[in-house]
Structure 1
């Protein structure tokens, strides 16, 4: 299965999980009495044409004659958590996100670690802008990315999918000795989708998956003695790394 197909399936999974989370709404039983009263709770017993028993908050149980009942219904419970856990606008935020970079090189499948820290400002639910730094490994290179990232939440719900897109510069280092070597980094970019789950009043936990690009250049000079003179061999390597990024993290 190709890398592009894996990424497409992962994006689809994020959307399905987000839609399922949003669709899960708690319900409660409701009694509408003929005198105008409305009783909300959990109906525990119904005796047709005689009585109905309902348990309300505090484990209190009430019994009503069916002659006093106008109708019985099931209704959605008001989402009181939304007041505390909704996406706040015009606030500063911090993100800590470890993860994995998954791709292929000449040796086959390559999985490398990643860690990023982002500090930013949220203008609205749909738009925020942050400055990020990190440390990552990609196929023998150590990359120190410095980037700007925008992210936004798709729904005004405590649990919601979100998007992110970023670009910047990745400082590259290989740490190889014994040869004359020059290593340079270059453009980095990332884009993806995630799912936010509230944690406390202002924090949240999230998982995400995306596409990550990184440029890196290496020039290596080897000196070989071939009697009676020396031979200089110069090798230049240009890398365009394309990776799937899988992350989890915390936002405060």
Structure 2
């Protein structure tokens, strides 16, 4: 009698354990198309899932490999003739991963960089400011090396008619294959100056122009990326100017050494 009672208790416990395990059955769909079934022992979003397979083995699955999880619950409702078990699948939706902005910057091919500049420096005890605009068109052979030609208009003083028109060659390159990256640029050429009788400038000569700089590009799109740039600008200039009031002659024989700050757009 005791043996039958123990056997009956063992069968009841086994059936209860099986029912409990069936209530927690989960179907795991992986990104590679594989499907696993079993009991979820431990699940940590973003890290891993521990699954006890139906054959009793334990698998640890990285969360990045999981496409979706379907968990089955047992909904048991009593009826007059028999109890009917209805399986209700529940889909556990994983949060959609954030879309990274695609890197589309043209590392090879034609480019144009157009921007405005400000120049600052000292002449004796005075702080001198100037402004400029330039545009450069060139060809990138690879991400690190490109060459181009450019023109611009620079004013190193507030006096009218003393502007320079630099014509230059450029070498530039980008240090990282990223949307936001530092870059270098070296411009060298000749700043042209012209006489202008309207402002009393009877003689004008330009000279060598050199402008090495480093900067930072924001954006990795095909066109329309903003950049900021800081560098050093060297420029020679000679001007002979006659005053329209008293015919006094002013001679400007200058070598400008200026810190340059620029901002613009790369196409």
Contact 1:193/1:210 (<8 A) preserved? yes
Query: Structure 2: where are the runs of 5+ without partners?
Result: 1-27, 33-39, 53-57, 65-96
Q: Determine the structure 1 residue equivalent to 2:104.
A: 85
Mapped contact 2:180–2:220 kept (Cα < 8 A): no
Which residue is equivalent to 2:45? 54
Q: Give the alignment of 1:131-146 within 5 angstroms.
A: 131-139=149-157, 140=159, 141-146=162-167
Query: Is 1:245 aligned to 2:264, yes or no?
Result: no
Query: Which of 136, 140, 146 matches 1:128?
Result: 146
CA distance in 2, matches of 1:155, 1:176: 50
Q: For the Cα contact (< 8 Å) 2:204–2:240, is it kept in 1?
A: yes
In the alignment, which of 227, 238, 241 is matched to residue 206 of structure 1?
227
**How far did 1:197 drift?**
1.5
The CA deviation string for residues 75-102 of structure 1, in whole angstroms up to 9 with x for no partner, is xx999545x424421x111111112111
1:150 is matched with which residue: 171, 175, 181?
171
The residue aligned with 1:185 is 206
Tell me which residue corresponds to 1:46.
Answer: none
Q: What TM-score results when the alignment is normalised by the length of structure 2?
A: 0.59
Q: 2:115 aligns with which of 77, 82, 97?
A: 97
Name the CA distance, whole Å, in 2 between partners of 1:175 and 1:73. 74
Whole-Å separation in 1 of the counterparts to 2:202 and 2:189? 24
* Aligned mates of 1:108, 1:69 — CA distance in 2: 76
Which structure would you say has the larger RCO, counting Cα contacts within 8 Å and 6 or more residues apart?
1
Cα distance, 1:119 vs structure 2:
0.9
Structure 1 counterpart of 2:60, from 33, 57, 70: 70
| Structure 2: distance between partners of 1:234 and 1:51 | 90
Please report how far the alpha carbon of residue 164 of structure 1 lies from its aligned counterpart in structure 2 after TM superposition.
0.5
Cα distance in 2 between the residues matched to 1:73 and 1:235: 78
Larger radius of gyration: 2
Q: Offset at 1:112?
A: 1.6
- Aligned counterparts of 1:111 and 1:80: Cα–Cα separation in 2: 42
**2:217 match:** 196
**Kept in 2: contact 1:87–1:157 (CA 8 A):** no
The 2-side partners of 1:180 and 1:201 are apart by 45
More strand by share: 1
The aligned length equals 192
Q: What's the counterpart of residue 112 of structure 1? A: 130
Question: Considering only aligned residues, what root-mean-square deviation do their CA atoms show, in Å?
Answer: 3.8
Mapped to 2, the partners of 1:153 and 1:126 lie a distance apart of 5
Task: From the superposition, tell whether residues 246 and 73 of structure 1 become closer, same or farther in structure 2 (CA, over 3 Å).
Answer: farther
Distance in 2, matches of 1:137 and 1:204, equals 26
Contact 1:98/1:249, CA 8 A, preserved across alignment: yes
